[in-house]
Amino acid sequence: MERISDESLAILLLTSDLLYRKTKDKDQKPFTHGEWNKFAALLRKSAYSTPAVLYDKNEDHLMQDLLLSRAMANKVCTLMRYAGSMAIEIEKLTGMGIWIATRGDKNFPQRVKQLLKEQSPPFFYGTGNGELLRSSAIGFVGSRDADESSVEFTKRTVRKLVEERALIVSGGAKGIDLTSQNEALLYGGQVVSFVHSELEMLLRKKDFRKAIVDGNLTVLSAVHPSARFTGFNAMGRNKYIYTHSKGTVVVSSNIKGGTWEGANENLKNSWVPLIVRASENVPEGNRRLLEMNEENPMVIPFTNDSSQSIIELLKNVANKDKTKNINKKDSDLFYLVWPIIKDHIKRGYSFAELCEVLHVLPEQLEQWMQRGNNIKIKHSEPAVEQTTLF
């Protein structure tokens, strides 16, 4: 395992409860997720290149450079003073086979960061082969008390995906999650599992450790490795399954509960396509998802006896999106005019001169200019593979 960087250690000092859960010392209480996002935004806009520069700053520096209040500057400086204690706790986790990846580390799942943006956690605890996080994967979600037909559908579908060399993403919980995970491992596949709690306890299980040692299982958690189950953490974990996958299979869902809420949250945010099991005996949640989204290209019905490849279905969705975008551009005059506008701006034409040359009203040119500026901003955003720290 690689030594944790100064930048990642600084982020953990400000966001991790590794020390606070142990001491309950209010001086060691980390930022909340929202507080960290606000502070990270201030850092990005400042002259500070990385969070690591905070080790050498005092309250006056932070108040002057970041415009922090005295109380917030004091909180940051106080937390940064515990670097030695935090390093010891990290070393203990390393001895157990647990690593920590912040948003800028290579073992942080990049699709999660790209799709969730500020909703993504500042770090994950993890164990296993980090290389698995860089391969395409298909998610599986479903009820804890799934019936036999749901279990058999899951096993059959997972085996076909493993044959197509796709990884499986699960939530590690009883029911469909563990069925998909165990079947993939049994069939020679590989799995990324986002668990909602008790990572430390899972490491004590023999078959679990073997899959990790063999390089076929990577497990991530956004909460402390000894944290117990809470409904809040379980619901929060769902979004990681979806956003790490290229598409997620909804095997069995009621009309309330984690599977239902997670599927609808995914559709609301348009993260990834849903492959929804469709047959006569599926639960009501499956039927409702299909009925409510009959015209939604992000929802794909998939029957028990389907011989179709999920990989090919997802490729078709991606190709339709590309075609739709191309057709939209072909019928939008902006994409024809904008290169001409850019060229004239480079040559020093004023706004009034552009209106005259292009024979357009100022209102129309202003709209095109605004759209052009948005394109510049969008293209300047970092790519998925980049390693920003926050």
User: pLDDT per residue over 102-158, tens digit each?
Assistant: 998 999 999 999 999 989 999 999 999 999 999 999 999 999 998 999 999 999 999
Q: Report the mean per-residue pLDDT for the chain.
A: 89
Res. 286: pLDDT tops 70: yes
Q: Does residue 346 or residue 314 have the better pLDDT? A: 314
pLDDT score of 373: 78
Res. 348: pLDDT tops 90: no
pLDDT score of 236: 87
Q: Assign 239 to helix, strand or coil.
A: helix
pLDDT score of 364: 87
pLDDT score of 384: 38
Residues 6+ apart with CB under 8 A from 253: 141, 142, 143, 259, 260, 263, 283, 285, 286, 289
Range scoring the smallest mean pLDDT among 283-292, 296-305, 341-350? 341-350
**What are the E-state strand segments in 145-201?**
167-170, 191-194
Phi-psi label, residue 188: left if phi above 0, alpha if psi -120 to 50, beta otherwise: left
Res. 345: pLDDT tops 90: no
Q: Assign 137 to helix, strand or coil.
A: strand
**Rounded mean pLDDT, 161-172:** 95
pLDDT score of 331: 62
pLDDT tier at 307 (50, 70, 90 boundaries)?
confident
Percentage of residues in the chain with pLDDT exceeding 90? 68
pLDDT score of 218: 97
**Rounded mean pLDDT, 287-308:** 89
**What are the E-state strand segments in 229-343?**
247-252, 274-278, 299-303
**Rounded mean pLDDT, 169-175:** 93
pLDDT tier at 347 (50, 70, 90 boundaries)?
confident
Structure tokens at 197: 């709690």
Range scoring the smallest mean pLDDT among 70-74, 251-255, 370-374? 370-374
- Per-residue pLDDT tens over the stretch 11-48: 999 999 999 999 999 999 999 999 999 999 899 888 88
**Spatial separation of the C-alpha atoms in residues 64 and 55, rounded to whole Å:** 16
Res. 390: pLDDT tops 50: no
Q: Does residue 111 or residue 365 have the better pLDDT? A: 111
Res. 380: pLDDT tops 80: no
**What are the E-state strand segments in the chain?**
99-102, 123-128, 137-142, 167-170, 191-194, 217-221, 247-252, 274-278, 299-303
Res. 217: pLDDT tops 90: yes
